[in-house]
Amino acid sequence: MDVNIDPSWKAHLEQEFKKPYFKQLVQFVKQEYSQYTCYPKGKDIFAAFDHCPFQETKVVIIGQDPYHGPNQANGLCFSVKDGIAHPPSLVNIFKEIKVDVEKPYPKSGNLERWADQGVLLLNATLTVRAHQAGSHQNKGWEQFTDAVIRTVSEQLDGVVFLLWGGFAKKKATLIDKGKHHILTSGHPSPLSANRGLWFGNQHFSTTNDLLSKLGRQPIDW
């Protein structure tokens, strides 16, 4: 099956695209996009991979679902398009960055600038029906994105995985802890952050310290 994804990833995921579950997933997604408004736009479904070539992946951040409001989702977890109001979780991410690495709060919530530096911003489910959170869960996307995490773990070295919240933390079982660094904290959503589980985690400075020790370029958050 020909999937329009960055060639560096295609080489590592080709076998996944041939599996029956993925073929069924593609049929489901095509049907949903033909019948309903879905996000992100078709060309952005694999944007996380297109902005972050496989061999350049240094950091992985795992989200759950794309945003399901108009013009929000751009294929990168937690990210929104330029000019779109920042959702609450993204606001809290930027607040932590401001304190942690003393970087001003940005105007744009578009995180393509992170992805282009080697941050894989991976949602577990890559599509969603408009205004229906979780509507494309348990259709095969999770099997695919788990395979992505396993592939990164097996084929690369010294990647920093940021697992925020209970859902993301479960992905730790897919990661070789002997080869990679795993940082965990509460989710940046207000529900978690306001209970003291997010702010002060210093994940952004810690990530850069780890990358520097590995001789890799830190991320300009």
Positions marked catalytic? 65
Helix segments in 41-162, DSSP class H: 47-50, 88-100, 112-115, 141-155
DSSP state of 132: B
Q: H/E element holding 206?
A: helix 203-213
* Helix (H) / strand (E) containing 161: strand 160-164
Specify the DSSP element, H or E, that contains 62: strand 59-63
Q: In whole angstroms, how far apart are CA 27 and each of 4, 17, 18, 118?
A: 15, 13, 13, 31
C-alpha span between 127 and 154 (Å, rounded): 26
Longest Cα–Cα distance of the chain, Å, equals 50
d(CA 79, CA 87): 9
Residue whose C-alpha is closest to residue 217's, from 54, 8, 58 = 58
> Which amino acid makes up residue 134?
G
